[in-house]
């Protein structure tokens, strides 16, 4: 597990992966620039009250709202944009580290994006439901966070990688047999997403990490060696 994580971090030196990171974050920044311009235009059309301090307060609150939304949503938006490139990320990692592998099954951007949207929605909803537990149990909340998000992230990233090599029926069968392994991998991935700044590149590291885990399992786990 640690070896796979180390190799995934080392893969960040791959120029192709750095280009994906740069492009994804640039698209996220461009999206927020559109948001900033839109809100600036909206605030510009707010009818002045005639009270200088009231108008100044409205402008200030509007600016602070934009900054707060940027700080809160940028990691999520960056992650979602980067999610469109997960198949490409996996392909680049395989080409660099496993050059003898046969060509993988193509996974469309639509399928990958749907998976990321499903993951994002499930993560938001379930974590909101778990919010009272996070607040009521200050120490146990770390365990709850890791357990919940480890399952969600581990399953999703496992399927993204496995679907490139296995038929959907085989993926479901293998997923059940390797549940503990990908679950532990998911806990590691959840840790990456929980660290500020690191979470901006977490999808790339998580995908590379799962590729290394999956290829390791294919070589060592008896019921996977046939694939």
Q: What is the pLDDT of residues 63-78, one digit of tens each?
A: 777 676 666 566 566 6
Give the pLDDT of residue 7. 95
CB 144 within 8 A of CB 187: no
Q: What is the pLDDT of residues 42-68, one digit of tens each?
A: 766 666 656 677 667 777 777 777 676
Residue 14 pLDDT exceeds 80:
yes
Domain residue ranges of the chain, discontinuous segments joined by + = 2-224
Give the pLDDT of residue 222. 67
Residue 151 pLDDT exceeds 70:
yes
Average pLDDT of span 173-194: 92
Average pLDDT of span 3-8: 95
């Amino acid at each position: 597990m640690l070896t796979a994580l180390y190799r995934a971090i080392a893969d960040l030196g791959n120029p192709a992966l750095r280009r994906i990171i740069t492009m994804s974050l640039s698209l996220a920044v461009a999206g927020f620039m559109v948001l900033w311009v839109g809100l600036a235009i909206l605030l510009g059309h707010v009818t002045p009250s005639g009270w200088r301090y009231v108008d100044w307060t409205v402008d200030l609150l509007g600016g602070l709202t934009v900054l707060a939304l940027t700080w809160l949503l940028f990691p999520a938006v960056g992650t979602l944009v980067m999610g469109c490139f997960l198949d490409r990320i996996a392909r680049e990692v395989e080409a660099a580290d496993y050059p003898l592998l046969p060509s993988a099954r193509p996974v469309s951007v639509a399928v990958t994006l749907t998976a990321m949207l499903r993951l994002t929605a499930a993560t938001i909803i379930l974590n909101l439901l778990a919010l009272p537990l996070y607040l009521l149990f200050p120490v146990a909340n770390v365990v709850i966070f890791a357990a919940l998000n480890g399952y969600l992230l581990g399953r999703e990233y496992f399927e993204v990688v496995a679907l490139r090599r296995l038929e959907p029926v085989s993926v479901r069968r293998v997923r059940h047999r390797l549940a503990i392994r990908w679950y532990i991998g998911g806990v590691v991935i959840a840790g990456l997403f929980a660290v500020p700044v690191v979470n901006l590149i977490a999808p790339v590291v998580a995908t590379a990490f799962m590729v290394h885990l999956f290829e390791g399992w294919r070589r060592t786990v008896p019921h996977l060696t046939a694939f």
